[in-house]
Amino acid sequence: MLMLRATIAGVSLLALSLAACTTPAPQVAASVSPAAKPMRAAVALEDKYATSSDGVKIHYVASGSGRWW
Amino acid sequence: MIHGYPDFSGSWNAMTPALNDAYRTVALDTRGYNLSDKPKGVENYAMPKLVGDIAAVIRAEGRQKAIVIGHDWGAAQAWAFAFAHPEMLDKLVIMSVPHPTAFARELATNPIQQRNSQYARNFQKEGSENALTAEGLAGWVKDPAEKARYVEAFKRSDFAAMMNYYRANYPSGANAPPANAPPPVNPPLNVPLLVIHGVKDQALLASGHSGTWDYVTKDSTIVMIPDAGHFVQHDAAQLVNTTVRGWLDQR
């Protein structure tokens, strides 16, 4: 019985593996967690200032050039 | 990305490299802190001024809208920015601070939150800044090298300004609403919302996030991290970074 269960589990696992090979990856799969990514060059940091409507200067550190913040 | 108390733009040093390969990241020193101006007077730390600072930075970057991420007072500012400038908000990521209406409920009905907010009432008192030191403010930072950076940033900061955030805005003590006052009404949030909270946070209890979804018309995601405290982006940096990055990429 135990062996039968193991065999079924093995078949199921193989089926899942094949499905993973043949199913197109969803778009979200392209974004891997940063921890799993290969090392990449550090992006430079920029010291910048903005002036608020009451004249107060706000310092901020900017980096990257992506489409969003 | 907007820091809280006691903190500065360096609070996002771990999150920035997790985002900036695909996103333009901007970490503010809010007024009174580190390299930003430090105007005198409680009135200069009222929420509309703080919200105006966020809008000024977005415009300085030549953007019309942004994803706003805030922790502690930065989260309070992020909520207020969302209500005041929905046209400039793309997504909202909140760390630690409940929705203002939910927090008012907690302050009115939760005796533990009432008791744990005593520190804020103490901060509101005149002269409270005299008890602060740069080293003491950095006491929560664990890594020695990081702590040294915090001490230097706090030496450049204005302690009275830090207390003025509480004097001008904290909904308790001098700012407490009258008894039996209706809860504050805020516009519904019409962008996706991610909330991240350290369950060991004693300044802001996790129960304050209950019902957050009632104030949001888009999807809301609430992530509770059991082993993290108030400074959740430090206590669970890798989990917070991957959570934020994954959540952003999926939207």
Lowest mean pLDDT among B121-130, B160-169, B171-180: B171-180
Interchain contact A25–B (C-beta under 8 A) = no
Amino acid in the structure at residue B192:
P
- How many angstroms separate the CA atoms of B146 and B144, rounded? 5
The pLDDT-based confidence of A7 (bands split at 50, 70, 90) is very low
- How many angstroms separate the CA atoms of B170 and B55, rounded? 21
The model scores a pTM over 0.80? yes
- Mean pLDDT over B161-182 rounds to 85
Interchain contact B230–A (C-beta under 8 A) = no
Residue among B37, B3, B5, B19 nearest B245 (CA) = B19
- How many angstroms separate the CA atoms of B114 and B107, rounded? 5
- Is residue B183 within 8 A of residue B101, CB to CB? The reply is yes
Question: Is the per-residue pLDDT at B234 higher than 60?
Answer: yes
pLDDT at A67: 62
The structure tokens listed for B16 are: 């920035």
- Which residue in A has a C-alpha nearest to residue B45's C-alpha? A56
- How many angstroms separate the CA atoms of A31 and A25, rounded? 11
Q: Do A53 and B31 touch (CB under 8 A)?
A: no
Interchain contact A44–B (C-beta under 8 A) = no
- Condensed to tens digits (0 to 9), the pLDDT of residues B140-170 reads 999 999 999 999 999 999 999 999 999 999 9
Residue among B247, B186, B232 nearest B74 (CA) = B232
Q: Which of B1, B7, B26, B240 to mutate to test the interface with A (most CBs of A within 10 A)?
A: B26
Question: Is the per-residue pLDDT at B106 higher than 50?
Answer: yes
The pLDDT-based confidence of A16 (bands split at 50, 70, 90) is very low
pLDDT at B171: 83
pLDDT at A43: 86
Q: How far is CA A65 from CA A4, A56, A62, in A?
A: 55, 26, 9
At residue B157, the 3 state secondary structure works out as coil
pLDDT at B15: 97
Q: Do A59 and B24 touch (CB under 8 A)?
A: no
The pLDDT-based confidence of A9 (bands split at 50, 70, 90) is very low
Residues in chain B: 251
